Amino acid sequence: MAFSAVHDLFIDERELRVSSNGTGRPILMLHDLGSSAASWEAMTPEVVAAGREVVAIDLPGSGHSDAVADNRLTGFVEHLHAALDHLVEFAGDPIDVVGHGFGGYLGLSLAAWFPDRISGLVVEDPMLPPRSGPPVRARMSPTMAVSGALTTVRRGRFRENVHGFARAKAVLDQLAQADPAWWAGLARITAPTFIIGTGLAHAGDRALLDLLAASIEPATRTDLPGARRGHLSDADAFAAMVVGFLG
């Protein structure tokens, strides 16, 4: 088991499951839709060995965490911001964040809305809304909502999670809409940001990641074409990149 401690926070009377391991400065890990904190287990030993603490949460509506009151993207961001003071030893201290997929979108949003709370940011294949133009087709991978739902069913929380697929689709539908205000807000990010594309990224996705990097100062941009999902298929190397960037 990669996590040495598991506990629950209650934010606005809603449960938020937190798994952690290690000591030192914490790194908040935000997973993709349909996943859970367990997706970070493979890279956790390497991060802990480097002297950092891994703090991985089940995002609202995933794993053991209760859903937010509604499926607005702003609701997810506000919920996570409310949790920050409980996730660091000294309330108000900035924290490093690593996000994958939807977790990457949330990490970027936190860094833009609350720049004084985020000290460093790594995003892997982040979900991004179009900057302009008509809505794009919302895409959901077969594993995105289903795998997360099945995991939760096996953990005995079927009744609370039967709407998981609908929640994931609602998130994707919002991310399919052009959001120029969100893109403009990226200029408020002050945290050094590392943007990573993996082998799952298509040419259009990589172009959007390039646009993301151009919208943030300072930002570092790289691709991992040989990795399906960097933190899962090549966990040790990905962890070394994260720790090397965040310090």
Q: Give per-residue pLDDT as tens, 97-147.
A: 999 999 999 999 999 999 999 999 999 999 999 998 877 765 544 334 434
pLDDT of residue 229: 65
**Confidence check: pLDDT of 200 > 80:** no
For residue 239, report the phi and psi dihedrals to the nearest 5 degrees.
-60, -40
Helix pair 73-87, 164-175: axis angle to 10 deg: 110
Residue 90 has pLDDT above 70, yes or no: no
**Beta carbons of 52 and 58 less than 8 angstroms apart:** no
What pLDDT is recorded for position 2?
84
Q: What pLDDT was estimated at residue 1?
A: 56
Which domains does the chain carry? 5-241 (3.40.50.1820)
User: For residues 22 and 54, is the Cβ–Cβ distance under 8 A?
Assistant: yes
For the stretch 201-220, pLDDT in tens is 676 788 999 999 999 998 99
Binning the chain into helix, strand and coil, the percentages to the nearest 5 are 45, 20, 35
Provide the pLDDT for residue 163: 60
Between 153 and 102, name the one with better pLDDT: 102
Q: For residues 88-94, give the mean pLDDT.
A: 76
Under 8 Å between Cβ of 60 and 33: no
Give the per-residue pLDDT at 133: 80
Task: Determine the pLDDT at residue 83.
Answer: 94
Q: Is the pLDDT of residue 63 over 80?
A: yes
Q: How far apart are CA 70 and CA 68, in angstroms?
A: 5
Looking at residue 134, its pLDDT comes to 73
Q: Determine contact, residues 148/63, Cβ cutoff 8 Å.
A: yes
The phi, psi pair for 7, rounded to 5°, reads -150, 170
Least confident of 36-45, 71-80, 194-203: 194-203
- Answer yes or no: is pLDDT of 157 > 80: no
pLDDT of 226-235, one tens digit each? 756 688 888 9
Give the model's pLDDT for residue 34. 85
- Read off the pTM: 0.89
Asked whether residue 174 carries a pLDDT value surpassing 90, the answer given is yes
Q: Is the pLDDT of residue 44 over 50?
A: yes
**222 has which bridge partners?**
196
Maximum C-alpha span of the chain: 46
